[in-house]
Amino acid sequence: MNFSDMRCDIPELRGDNYKVWKERILLHLGWMDIDYAIRKSKPAPITETSQPDEVDLYEKWERSNRLSVMFIKTKMLASIRGSVDQHNNIRELLKAIDDQFVSS
């Protein structure tokens, strides 16, 4: 099975569809192979003494985080995005969205 051929329609987050939205978002990020920053903690910042594997790991996490945040923010109503737009860390963004809708 080729995952790039799989379709996963992600509804725009409105609030009343939070559970389905989150399920599909996480599935889609996994299919796109950009869920690394969700699964792994942020590595130590790169320094002059960082080893190549540490640099690679940091860059992988940074790319995953950036793309995941951008993708998620395109899949929600502007009014909802405004309340969480300050988050640039995927885990913090997901937690803020959870906090807003988990009790809804």
Q: Which residues contact 15 (CB under 8 A, 6 or more apart)?
A: 77, 80, 101, 104
DSSP-derived letter for residue 3 is G
The residue behind tokens 């995953």 is 64
Give the pLDDT of the chain (104 residues) as one tens digit per residue.
Answer: 454 545 568 999 998 999 999 999 999 999 999 999 999 999 999 999 999 999 999 999 999 999 999 999 999 999 999 889 899 999 999 999 999 988 65
Domain range for 15? 3-101
Number of domains, the chain: 1
Q: Specify the pTM.
A: 0.85
